[in-house]
Structures are given as C-alpha cells and as structure tokens.
Amino acid sequence: MFAWDPDRIYAKYLIETAWPLGQAAEIMAGEQSAGTFVRVAGETDELRARHGARVESIVELDSARVPSLPGAGLPKGHKGEPVYRRAEVWLSWPLDNLGPSLPNLMATVAGNLYELKPFSGLKLLDIKLPEAFLDEYPGPQFGVAGTRRLSGVQRLPLIGTIIKPSVGLTPEQTAERVRQLVEAGIDFIKDDELQADGPHCPFLERLDRVMRVINEHAERTGKKVMYAFNITGDIEKMLRRHDAVVEAGGTCVMVSLNGTGLAAVAYLRRRCVLPIHGHRNGWGMLSRHPLLGMSYIAWQKFWRLAGVDHMHVNGLRNKFCEDDDSVIASARECLTPMFDRPGRGCEVMPVFSSGQWAGQAPETYRRLGSTDLIYACGGGIMAHPGGIAAGVASVRQAWEAALEGQSLEEYARTHVELAQALAKFGS
C-alpha cells in the first residue's frame, strides 16, 4: 500500500475498461484535476506535478468480454475482441486544489468522470479526507450517545416504527396512531419520507397533535418517545419546521438527503439543535448497478461530515434488492470513525428498516457487534397477533435474547410475545 499524506484527498474506485489499466487511471486523474483532453498552454509539468491528481495504486481484478455499461470506447487502433478489465484504483488530490468543501469535493471525486469514454464501469468505493474537513464541518451533533440520552434508551437498540399508511392519514389520525405506539412502549417513531407538509396533513398541525400525545405520555411515564418529524423541503421551511419541533418539545427531525442536497443539510446542521435523521430514499439510483455510481461506504461519509446523526442502512432479509452483506457493511461503517481525532470520528447511528421484526435481531447483533442502532419494524410490530404492545415486546425480547446469547426459540419458551411473533412471522 501507499503512504497517506495528511494534506491529500483520497478516493478509491472500481473501474472497468478496455484501455490498459494504468492509462485508464491516468485519464481519470487528468480529467479530474489539471488535465484536459488535449494538453493546453500553461499546463506545465510543474503545474501537473503540484495540482494533478495522482494514481496511488491499481489492483487488477477480473475481466469481462461484454462491457457493463454502454457508450464506452476502445483505445485508438485497438484490434480484435476487446477485454474489459476491472480494477480497484486509488487516486489522490492535493487539498490545495479545492479546500475542505463538501460540494466541491463531490465535483472532484464524483463529477464528470462517470461519462469518460474509456470506462464501461466506474464506481466510487471510498474516500479518505484530510482533517481540514473536520475543522470546517461540525459532523454529527448527537450521534449515538446524544440519541441515547434524548430517548432514554441505554442498552438495547431504539425499537422503532414508521407511521403507515405513508400518506393519507390526517394529523388527528396520525396522533391517534402515535398514541397507540407510545402506549405500546415504543422508543422511536418516524414520519414516512412521503409525508412532509402536504395540504392533506399539514406539518404544524401534525406536529401539534403528535407532540401533545408524546409530551403527555412523557409527563405521565417519564419516557419521551423520539419522533423523527419529516421537515424535508426548501430551506426556509425546513428551518421553520425545525424551530417548531423544538418549540413543541420534539427531539428529532428527518430529512430526505438526496432530494434536499448536501449544502442544505450542512446549512441546517449549523442551525439545528436536534438529531438529524437522514433518509436515504433515491439511494438506489446511485447504488443499484455494481459498476456505476457510489458505494454506501463513500456516500455516507459526505452526510456524516455534513452533520447527519442517523443514517438509513436497510435491514437484514429486507424487502428490497440489497443483500445482507451489503447492509451489514453499511451499518458497520456508520459506527466506524472516519477520522482519528479523539471524539471526532463522526460516528452515526445506523437505522435498520424494511421487513424487520424480532426474527433478524440475533443475526443483526452478531454481525454488527453492537446495539447502537435504531431498529424500525412495520408489520413486525403492527401486525403482531397480540397487538402493538406485544409487537414491541417481541422485538425487545428478541434483542434481549441476542444479548444473552440465547436462540430466539429458547428465549421464546419463557416469553410469549416472542413466541407469537415466531409463530406468525417466522417461516
């Protein structure tokens, strides 16, 4: 491996190309720094040495006879059947080129290079940033510890759910659903990402109705359930909604990251006094193809640095296309420091959701090695045969079993809600 220079930005890619690998990597490096298609006046060797991106390493992988993406070309004068070689490539840039700015970083490491002709595949796999970024951006304000403090949940994951149907409930109906959930002992509730501030369920009215239920329950029991209000929208409105959540005694705000964007989320973070729950909807566009876009590992680093506290990672045996290895890799990454500076690793709480119920708890715990997560169930709680409270209890019991190293079947012998869940949802 190469030595990390603390003043350089590093990015790792998976590429596929019919060009010689070294040449293809140099083309990427050139396009994303001092180079042009044709060398221009003023592009001196000294300038290229100081400001050009550097190819740090190339590790060849497998190859293919058929290009993964259309539109790629062949090297000049190429004869015969092309071979599309795959490789992992690290590039690096001097921080001096752009300074510690996330929007500019995106243009540098994930900009025009996706359309370069030599590539029939190109995916950003990882980034490694100078600490200057940490001086510029605050990172998550609450993270794991702050979320646990605000929710009062210390040992287990936060057991959560999402208000469904996604859209169509009035503020009153939403609050009624919340009442059932808080009485059932839930720790965390979130708006659906489709529910924000539509005329049918205006944000301020939903907030008011919901917080009355949550505050009343908190007064009575001492437990303030964390509700992630979806404040997604234009900036002035997001800030107004955030302030209203604070005013109403709420403890979390949610933002759809992709549709809102990096600069707005960073801006919100600097004015925010609550944890930011980051919803990744639209993420599939960037990730669904194995040789295009961006890995979750790279993507989440942008948002953590911008200041998000909770990041969605899908869940084991989910209802979407993603496999379990990918889900666990994402979640582990959320809990892994992205900088070495003490207390400034920017760790965030991974949010497991989609098809989750008691059943995935032991494997989630075993593979993640942590309970620092939000575990959001839908049907696994709402459709439990014993009712919502039994649904919540079944999930909590499953996590207790996981922590004690018992199998669910074993633990279910003395825990009826878990037994009911296994009977209904286990197959």
Q: Pick the closest to residue 143 from 337, 363, 339 (CA basis).
A: 337
Q: Which residue has the tokens 């605000």?
A: 150
d(C-alpha 39, C-alpha 59), whole Å: 28
By the rule CB under 8 A, 200 interacts with a second copy = yes
- Quote the tokens at residue 304: 């953590």
Q: Quick one: which segment of 88-96, 151-159, 243-251, 360-368 binds a second copy (CB under 8 A)?
A: 88-96
By the rule CB under 8 A, 382 interacts with a second copy = yes
Which residue's CB is nearer to a second copy, number 212 or number 317?
317
Which residue's CB is nearer to a second copy, number 49 or number 145?
49
Give the type of residue at 51. H
- Quote the tokens at residue 82: 């092309």
Q: Are 133 and 261 in contact, with CB atoms under 8 Å apart?
A: no
At residue 232, the 3 state secondary structure works out as coil
d(C-alpha 144, C-alpha 65), whole Å: 46
Q: Which of residues 34-53 bind a second copy (CB under 8 A)?
A: 34-38, 40-43, 47-48, 50-52
Which residue's CB is nearer to a second copy, number 114 or number 150?
114
Backbone angles phi, psi at 198, to 5 degrees: -75, 155
Which residue's CB is nearer to a second copy, number 256 or number 371?
256
Q: Which of 57, 63, 141, 281 binds a second copy (CB under 8 A)?
A: 281
d(C-alpha 333, C-alpha 301), whole Å: 9
Q: Which of 63, 101, 141, 406 binds a second copy (CB under 8 A)?
A: 101
Q: Quick one: which segment of 71-79, 329-337, 338-346, 407-415 binds a second copy (CB under 8 A)?
A: 71-79
Find the shortest distance in angstroms from Cβ 398 to a second copy.
19
Distance of CA 318 to the CA centre of its chain: 16
- Quote the tokens at residue 13: 């890619």
Q: Which of residues 122-161 bind a second copy (CB under 8 A)?
A: none
Find the shortest distance in angstroms from Cβ 320 to a second copy.
4
The two beta strands, 84-94 and 8-17, are antiparallel
Find the shortest distance in angstroms from Cβ 318 to a second copy.
9
> Which string of x and - marks every residue 319-338 that binds a second copy (by CB under 8 A)?
xxxxx---------------
Q: Which of 232, 251, 295, 360 binds a second copy (CB under 8 A)?
A: 232
d(C-alpha 123, C-alpha 170), whole Å: 42
Q: Which of 114, 150, 246, 389 binds a second copy (CB under 8 A)?
A: 114
By the rule CB under 8 A, 190 interacts with a second copy = no
By the rule CB under 8 A, 1 interacts with a second copy = no
Backbone angles phi, psi at 168, to 5 degrees: 120, -25
Q: Which residue has the tokens 């949802």?
A: 425
By the rule CB under 8 A, 97 interacts with a second copy = yes
By the rule CB under 8 A, 205 interacts with a second copy = no
Q: Are 379 and 357 in contact, with CB atoms under 8 Å apart?
A: yes
Q: Which of residues 10-29 bind a second copy (CB under 8 A)?
A: none
By the rule CB under 8 A, 107 interacts with a second copy = yes
